[in-house]
Structure formats: C-alpha cells, structure tokens
Amino acid sequence: MSKTPLGKIPAAAIHLLDIPRYPKETIEAFLALGDLTGTVSDAMDELGLDGVVPASVLAPTLGERRIAGPALTLRNVEQRDQAYKGARERVSRMAEIEAHNLAETGDVLVIEGVVGISNMGGLSATIAQRQGEVGAVVDGGIRDIEQSRSIGFPLWSRGVSSVTGKWRLETVAVNGTVRICGKQVRPGDLVVADAGAVCFIPAEAVPQVLRRAQEIGEGEARRYADIAAGMPVAELARRTHVYKFDPQ
C-alpha cells in the first residue's frame, strides 16, 4: 500500500511518521475486559490521565460494538468561502482520503471536526473499512449512517447531519496532534471505545492502563460472584476486591 500523499492537501500538512502500533496480544487484552471503557476510565483516573469522553457527547452508531486501536488523526476546519460557491464549482477541500491512504489494519480514524456538518459519510466509511480501519471517532457531525451500519463499520460522533462538509470544510492536517472534545490526541495514542465512552490513552501509558484495568476488572468479577453467592450487604460493603494500586 502506497504511503505517498495523494495531493489532496499540501504535503506539509501530512505527517508521514511511523505511529505506534500495538501487539495483537495488547489489543486482544483490552477487548477482553468485561467493562471496556468503564475499567479503562477508572484506571486512567488513578493514573491521572485525562482522556475520556462519555457516550453522551460522542454517541456510537453501533452500540454493541467495541474497538481498540491506534489513532490515525485528521483535522477539519470551516472554509471561508461560501458553501454554494464550492458546490457550483464542484471543488471539495475535504481530504480524509489522505488518512485512509496512510491507514494500516487495526487503525482508528480520529477526526477533529465541526459540529452540525458532516465530516464523514458512507463512502468514506466504506473506504475506511476496506483499508482495515476498525472504526472512527468524529468530534463533529457524520452522515449516511445507514450505509456505515449496513457494513458494520462503527462510528462515534457529536451527532448526525445530512449537511455535507464537501463544500463547507477544509482538511488542514493529517497525522498531527488533534483535540477531541477538549482531549489531546496524538497519532498512535490508543483509542478504546464502546457504548459507554471513548478513551484516548497516551501511547507511553498503555501498559500501565491495561495492567490496572485488568486488576479492576478482576476485583469487580469477584464482587459479582459474592453478590450471586448471597453475601450480606454489610459484608459486601467491607470488601473491595480491588488489588492495592502501585503506579510503578
């Protein structure tokens, strides 16, 4: 697969860097967590990491899906020109195709976009799936969700809008640092998402977050077992079953 820019935006805006990718075992370990974003969010709190956006802000199109993968980032801004001028001249300045061109299997497309305008539609979702991307997170609007749902490609977004971004938005950077709902996301940071939230884990903190999330999950499983076994409420309140936390 070519990594050469397609010329849709200035080459200087495309960062052809080698973003971190994660071993298959790491991705599978996250996806095996019983409560994916719940335990990850708790672990990030304990580690002092601010990177969780609730599903009430970034809503999923396929609520039963959960994903984990490195962030492939893109930034859109509003065009200065009137949308009707672009529509008449058939000139689009959106270029998520540049991100799809850089994608590797397992990546998550993360778009800093514009609310109320579509930053990603059905064609883009279909290309993303073909390129091996496992999902997309959009701080802005999306459209054609019937198409993305029909092919099983999950998206998390600020909402659905049929107002096209083709004539209203401009892609200004690919594979650079973005801000998603106020959270900084760098290329290669690990994205985990499900029906409850989207979590952006800094690449260097992934091992610690995974270890602590597994500990929290094991502790909660033991509490559920105690509840099922009929343990009195007073005793349940005295037991946490969460291992002692050692940030080192």
In terms of residue numbers, what domain contains 204? 11-209
Split into its structural domains, the chain has a count of 1
**CB contact at 8 A, 159 and 120:** no
What band does 223 get if pLDDT is binned at 50, 70 and 90? Answer: confident
User: Could you tell me which residues are annotated as the binding site for Mg(2+)?
Assistant: 144
Average pLDDT over residues 47-61: 98
Name which residue leads in pLDDT, 22 or 14. 22
Question: Taking 90 as the threshold, does the pLDDT of residue 83 lie above it?
Answer: no
What band does 49 get if pLDDT is binned at 50, 70 and 90? Answer: very high
197 within some domain: yes
Question: Taking 90 as the threshold, does the pLDDT of residue 197 lie above it?
Answer: yes
Name which residue leads in pLDDT, 6 or 154. 154
Whole-angstrom Cα distance, residue 118 to residue 135? 16
Question: Taking 80 as the threshold, does the pLDDT of residue 240 lie above it?
Answer: no
150 within some domain: yes
Question: Taking 70 as the threshold, does the pLDDT of residue 91 lie above it?
Answer: no
15 within some domain: yes
pLDDT at 2: 47
pLDDT at 15: 66
114 within some domain: yes
What band does 206 get if pLDDT is binned at 50, 70 and 90? Answer: very high
On whether the pTM is more than 0.85, the answer is: yes
Helix axes 36-46, 206-228, angle to 10 degrees: 120
What band does 92 get if pLDDT is binned at 50, 70 and 90? Answer: confident
159 within some domain: yes
Q: Which of 44-48, 173-177, 221-225 has the lowest mean pLDDT?
A: 221-225
How much of the chain, in percent, has pLDDT values that exceed 90?
74
6 within some domain: no
User: Could you tell me which residues are annotated as the binding site for substrate?
Assistant: 143
The pLDDT tens digits of the residues spanning 100-157 come to 999 999 999 999 999 999 999 999 999 999 999 999 999 999 999 999 999 999 999 9
Question: Taking 90 as the threshold, does the pLDDT of residue 79 lie above it?
Answer: no
Whole-angstrom Cα distance, residue 157 to residue 137? 6
Residue 161 burial (CB count, 10 A): 18
What band does 1 get if pLDDT is binned at 50, 70 and 90? Answer: very low
Tokens of 106: 């397992």
Question: Taking 60 as the threshold, does the pLDDT of residue 54 lie above it?
Answer: yes
Which CATH number covers residue 38?
A: 3.50.30.40
Q: Is 93 helix (H, G, I), strand (E, B) or coil?
A: strand
Supply the mean pLDDT for the chain. Answer: 90
Q: What type of residue is 193?
A: A
User: Could you tell me which residues are annotated as the binding site?
Assistant: 143-144
40 within some domain: yes
122 within some domain: yes
